[in-house]
Amino acid sequence: MPNKTNKLKIDFLSNRLMHQLKYSWGVNQALPKAIGMHKNKNLTIIDATAGLGRDSFLLASLGAKIIMIERVEQIYAALKEAMEKAHNHSEKIAKIINNMQLIYGDAKDILPSLDPEIILIDVMHPVRKSALVKQEMRILRQIVGNDNDAKELINIALKLAKQRVVLKWPKKAKLPNGIINPSHKIIGKTTRYDVFITKQKL
Ligand SMILES: C[S@@+](CC[C@H](N)C(=O)[O-])C[C@H]1O[C@@H](n2cnc3c(N)ncnc32)[C@H](O)[C@@H]1O
Protein backbone atom coordinates (compact mmCIF):
# COMPACT_ATOMS: atom_id res chain seq x y z
CA MET A 1 0.00 0.00 0.00
CA PRO A 2 1.39 3.45 -0.82
CA ASN A 3 2.30 5.47 2.27
CA LYS A 4 0.07 8.53 2.33
CA THR A 5 1.67 10.31 5.25
CA ASN A 6 4.11 12.44 3.28
CA LYS A 7 2.92 15.92 2.43
CA LEU A 8 3.30 16.68 -1.23
CA LYS A 9 4.31 20.26 -1.96
CA ILE A 10 3.65 21.67 -5.38
CA ASP A 11 5.13 25.10 -6.02
CA PHE A 12 4.96 26.79 -9.41
CA LEU A 13 7.01 29.66 -7.96
CA SER A 14 10.02 27.53 -6.97
CA ASN A 15 13.48 28.87 -7.84
CA ARG A 16 14.12 25.86 -10.04
CA LEU A 17 11.00 26.37 -12.16
CA MET A 18 11.44 30.16 -12.33
CA HIS A 19 15.07 29.72 -13.41
CA GLN A 20 14.11 27.20 -16.08
CA LEU A 21 11.36 29.50 -17.35
CA LYS A 22 13.73 32.45 -17.56
CA TYR A 23 16.91 30.93 -18.90
CA SER A 24 16.42 27.54 -20.52
CA TRP A 25 12.89 27.21 -21.79
CA GLY A 26 11.46 27.73 -25.25
CA VAL A 27 9.59 26.11 -28.13
CA ASN A 28 12.70 24.30 -29.31
CA GLN A 29 13.02 22.24 -26.12
CA ALA A 30 12.20 18.54 -26.46
CA LEU A 31 8.69 18.59 -24.94
CA PRO A 32 7.23 21.56 -26.87
CA LYS A 33 8.86 20.22 -30.02
CA ALA A 34 7.26 16.81 -29.49
CA ILE A 35 3.91 18.56 -29.03
CA GLY A 36 4.45 20.59 -32.21
CA MET A 37 4.65 24.00 -30.54
CA HIS A 38 7.69 25.05 -32.57
CA LYS A 39 5.26 25.24 -35.52
CA ASN A 40 2.13 26.47 -33.75
CA LYS A 41 1.92 27.93 -30.23
CA ASN A 42 -1.82 28.33 -30.30
CA LEU A 43 -2.75 24.78 -29.30
CA THR A 44 -5.04 23.10 -26.81
CA ILE A 45 -3.34 20.17 -25.10
CA ILE A 46 -4.81 17.60 -22.75
CA ASP A 47 -2.32 16.60 -20.07
CA ALA A 48 -3.89 13.26 -19.12
CA THR A 49 -1.49 12.72 -16.19
CA ALA A 50 -1.10 16.09 -14.47
CA GLY A 51 1.02 14.97 -11.47
CA LEU A 52 3.08 17.90 -10.18
CA GLY A 53 1.83 20.05 -13.07
CA ARG A 54 5.31 21.03 -14.24
CA ASP A 55 4.94 19.98 -17.87
CA SER A 56 1.56 21.70 -18.03
CA PHE A 57 2.91 24.89 -16.46
CA LEU A 58 5.88 25.01 -18.83
CA LEU A 59 3.71 24.42 -21.90
CA ALA A 60 1.17 27.00 -20.68
CA SER A 61 4.01 29.52 -20.32
CA LEU A 62 4.57 29.22 -24.08
CA GLY A 63 0.94 30.13 -24.78
CA ALA A 64 -0.77 26.75 -25.09
CA LYS A 65 -4.12 26.11 -23.40
CA ILE A 66 -3.81 23.06 -21.15
CA ILE A 67 -6.53 20.84 -19.73
CA MET A 68 -4.97 18.82 -16.92
CA ILE A 69 -6.47 15.61 -15.54
CA GLU A 70 -5.44 14.09 -12.20
CA ARG A 71 -7.12 11.13 -10.52
CA VAL A 72 -5.45 11.06 -7.10
CA GLU A 73 -7.41 13.35 -4.80
CA GLN A 74 -4.42 14.41 -2.68
CA ILE A 75 -2.47 15.43 -5.78
CA TYR A 76 -5.46 17.15 -7.35
CA ALA A 77 -5.94 19.18 -4.15
CA ALA A 78 -2.22 20.12 -3.98
CA LEU A 79 -2.29 21.20 -7.62
CA LYS A 80 -5.40 23.31 -7.11
CA GLU A 81 -3.80 25.04 -4.12
CA ALA A 82 -0.53 25.66 -6.01
CA MET A 83 -2.42 27.11 -8.99
CA GLU A 84 -4.34 29.50 -6.72
CA LYS A 85 -1.14 30.62 -4.96
CA ALA A 86 0.70 31.15 -8.24
CA HIS A 87 -2.27 33.05 -9.70
CA ASN A 88 -2.12 35.54 -6.82
CA HIS A 89 1.64 36.06 -7.19
CA SER A 90 1.90 38.39 -10.17
CA GLU A 91 0.18 39.33 -13.41
CA LYS A 92 2.82 37.49 -15.41
CA ILE A 93 2.32 34.19 -13.58
CA ALA A 94 -1.47 34.66 -13.49
CA LYS A 95 -1.39 34.82 -17.30
CA ILE A 96 0.24 31.36 -17.37
CA ILE A 97 -2.18 29.90 -14.81
CA ASN A 98 -5.12 31.29 -16.80
CA ASN A 99 -4.04 28.94 -19.60
CA MET A 100 -4.41 25.94 -17.27
CA GLN A 101 -7.61 24.12 -16.35
CA LEU A 102 -7.64 21.24 -13.86
CA ILE A 103 -10.10 18.34 -13.85
CA TYR A 104 -10.38 15.66 -11.15
CA GLY A 105 -10.89 12.12 -12.35
CA ASP A 106 -9.51 9.26 -14.40
CA ALA A 107 -8.39 10.33 -17.86
CA LYS A 108 -9.63 7.03 -19.29
CA ASP A 109 -13.18 8.12 -18.42
CA ILE A 110 -12.79 11.85 -19.08
CA LEU A 111 -10.92 11.92 -22.39
CA PRO A 112 -13.92 10.86 -24.54
CA SER A 113 -15.89 13.93 -23.41
CA LEU A 114 -13.09 16.38 -24.31
CA ASP A 115 -12.87 15.80 -28.06
CA PRO A 116 -9.06 15.88 -27.76
CA GLU A 117 -6.62 16.98 -30.45
CA ILE A 118 -3.30 16.58 -28.65
CA ILE A 119 -2.81 14.37 -25.60
CA LEU A 120 0.28 14.27 -23.38
CA ILE A 121 0.84 11.18 -21.22
CA ASP A 122 3.49 10.84 -18.50
CA VAL A 123 2.63 7.95 -16.21
CA MET A 124 4.67 6.87 -13.17
CA HIS A 125 7.62 5.03 -14.68
CA PRO A 126 9.44 1.98 -13.32
CA VAL A 127 11.62 2.90 -10.31
CA ARG A 128 15.03 4.40 -11.07
CA LYS A 129 17.56 3.88 -8.30
CA SER A 130 19.13 7.23 -8.88
CA ALA A 131 20.05 10.16 -6.69
CA LEU A 132 18.71 12.23 -9.55
CA VAL A 133 15.16 11.22 -8.73
CA LYS A 134 14.03 14.38 -7.03
CA GLN A 135 12.44 14.46 -3.57
CA GLU A 136 9.02 15.55 -4.92
CA MET A 137 9.02 12.67 -7.40
CA ARG A 138 9.81 10.27 -4.56
CA ILE A 139 6.88 11.56 -2.52
CA LEU A 140 4.67 11.43 -5.62
CA ARG A 141 5.63 7.79 -6.10
CA GLN A 142 4.81 7.00 -2.46
CA ILE A 143 1.36 8.47 -2.96
CA VAL A 144 0.57 7.15 -6.43
CA GLY A 145 2.44 3.84 -6.56
CA ASN A 146 2.60 2.48 -10.10
CA ASP A 147 0.19 3.41 -12.85
CA ASN A 148 -0.53 -0.17 -13.84
CA ASP A 149 -3.21 0.78 -16.34
CA ALA A 150 -0.83 2.87 -18.48
CA LYS A 151 -1.27 0.68 -21.55
CA GLU A 152 -5.05 1.07 -21.42
CA LEU A 153 -4.74 4.86 -21.10
CA ILE A 154 -2.30 5.07 -24.01
CA ASN A 155 -4.54 3.00 -26.27
CA ILE A 156 -7.62 5.11 -25.40
CA ALA A 157 -5.62 8.28 -26.14
CA LEU A 158 -4.43 6.86 -29.47
CA LYS A 159 -8.02 6.17 -30.47
CA LEU A 160 -9.30 9.62 -29.51
CA ALA A 161 -6.56 12.16 -30.31
CA LYS A 162 -7.29 13.94 -33.58
CA GLN A 163 -3.71 15.15 -34.06
CA ARG A 164 -1.15 13.44 -31.88
CA VAL A 165 -0.32 11.66 -28.66
CA VAL A 166 2.98 12.41 -26.95
CA LEU A 167 4.25 9.83 -24.53
CA LYS A 168 6.98 10.83 -22.07
CA TRP A 169 9.05 7.78 -21.24
CA PRO A 170 12.49 6.97 -19.73
CA LYS A 171 15.10 7.27 -22.48
CA LYS A 172 16.05 3.61 -22.71
CA ALA A 173 12.89 1.86 -21.48
CA LYS A 174 10.73 -0.26 -23.78
CA LEU A 175 7.09 0.60 -24.35
CA PRO A 176 4.57 -1.88 -22.94
CA ASN A 177 3.71 -4.75 -25.28
CA GLY A 178 0.67 -4.01 -27.37
CA ILE A 179 1.47 -0.35 -28.09
CA ILE A 180 2.05 0.54 -31.75
CA ASN A 181 5.37 2.04 -32.80
CA PRO A 182 5.59 5.82 -32.57
CA SER A 183 5.74 7.99 -35.70
CA HIS A 184 8.96 9.54 -34.39
CA LYS A 185 10.93 10.09 -31.20
CA ILE A 186 12.52 13.13 -29.61
CA ILE A 187 15.29 12.14 -27.27
CA GLY A 188 16.45 14.25 -24.34
CA LYS A 189 19.10 13.65 -21.65
CA THR A 190 17.13 11.14 -19.58
CA THR A 191 13.74 11.32 -21.20
CA ARG A 192 12.36 10.26 -24.52
CA TYR A 193 9.21 11.63 -26.14
CA ASP A 194 7.46 9.11 -28.37
CA VAL A 195 5.21 10.97 -30.79
CA PHE A 196 2.23 9.22 -32.36
CA ILE A 197 0.71 11.21 -35.19
CA THR A 198 -2.96 10.26 -35.31
CA LYS A 199 -4.21 12.86 -37.81
CA GLN A 200 -5.64 11.17 -40.89
CA LYS A 201 -3.99 12.28 -44.13
CA LEU A 202 -6.62 13.56 -46.60
C1 LIG B 1 4.71 10.97 -13.43
S2 LIG B 1 3.36 11.87 -12.83
C3 LIG B 1 3.19 13.16 -14.01
C4 LIG B 1 4.19 14.28 -13.82
C5 LIG B 1 3.88 15.50 -14.67
N6 LIG B 1 4.13 15.25 -16.07
C7 LIG B 1 4.64 16.71 -14.21
O8 LIG B 1 5.21 17.42 -15.06
O9 LIG B 1 4.64 16.99 -13.01
C10 LIG B 1 1.98 10.87 -13.20
C11 LIG B 1 0.65 11.38 -12.64
O12 LIG B 1 -0.42 10.93 -13.48
C13 LIG B 1 -1.51 10.53 -12.70
N14 LIG B 1 -2.25 9.55 -13.51
C15 LIG B 1 -1.81 8.36 -13.99
N16 LIG B 1 -2.75 7.74 -14.71
C17 LIG B 1 -3.84 8.58 -14.70
C18 LIG B 1 -5.14 8.51 -15.28
N19 LIG B 1 -5.56 7.45 -15.98
N20 LIG B 1 -5.99 9.55 -15.09
C21 LIG B 1 -5.61 10.64 -14.36
N22 LIG B 1 -4.39 10.75 -13.77
C23 LIG B 1 -3.52 9.74 -13.94
C24 LIG B 1 -0.86 9.94 -11.45
O25 LIG B 1 -1.79 9.96 -10.38
C26 LIG B 1 0.32 10.88 -11.25
O27 LIG B 1 -0.03 11.98 -10.45
Q: Which bin fits 156, alpha (ψ -120 to 50), beta or left (φ > 0)?
A: alpha
Q: What is the pLDDT of residues 9-64, one digit of tens each?
A: 899 999 999 999 999 899 999 999 999 999 988 999 999 999 999 999 999 999 99
Predicted TM-score (pTM) of this structure: 0.94
Instruction: Name the residue of 46, 79, 123 whose CB sits within 8 Å of the most ligand 1 atoms, as the mutation to test its pocket.
Output: 123
Cα of 47 to ligand 1 centre, how many Å? 9
Instruction: Name the residue of 14, 59, 71 whose CB sits within 8 Å of the most ligand 1 atoms, as the mutation to test its pocket.
Output: 71
CB neighbour list of residue 87: distance below 8 Å, 6 or more residues apart: 93, 94, 97, 98
Q: Is the shortest distance between the CB of 31 and ligand 1 below 6 Å?
A: no
Q: Is the shortest distance between the CB of 120 and ligand 1 below 6 Å?
A: no
List, in sequence order, every beta strand (DSSP E) within 4-99.
44-47, 65-70
Q: Report the nearest atom of ligand 1 relative to the CA of 54.
A: 8
The CATH code of domain 15-197 reads 3.40.50.150
Q: What is the pLDDT of residues 158-196, one digit of tens each?
A: 999 999 999 999 999 999 899 999 999 999 888 999 999
Ligand 1 atom 26, closest CA = 51
Question: Three-state SS for 146?
Answer: coil
The one-letter amino acid code at 187 reads: I
Q: Which secondary structure element, helix H or strand E, spans residue 16, and what is its range?
A: helix 15-23
Q: Is the shortest distance between the CB of 32 and ligand 1 below 6 Å?
A: no
Q: Is the shortest distance between the CB of 194 and ligand 1 below 6 Å?
A: no
Q: What is the pLDDT of residues 82-119, one digit of tens each?
A: 999 999 999 999 999 999 999 999 999 999 999 999 99
Distance from C-alpha of 105 to C-alpha of 59, rounded to nearest angstrom? 21
Cα of 19 to ligand 1 centre, how many Å? 24
Q: CB–CB of 197/163 below 8 Å?
A: yes
For residue 65, how many other CB atoms are within 10 A of its CB? 15
Backbone angles phi, psi at 55, to 5 degrees: -60, -40
Domain residues of the chain, as ranges? 15-197
Distance from C-alpha of 141 to C-alpha of 163, rounded to nearest angstrom? 30
- Label residue 160 exposed, middle or buried (CB < 10 Å: 0-12, 13-18, 19+): middle
Distance from C-alpha of 132 to C-alpha of 52, rounded to nearest angstrom? 17
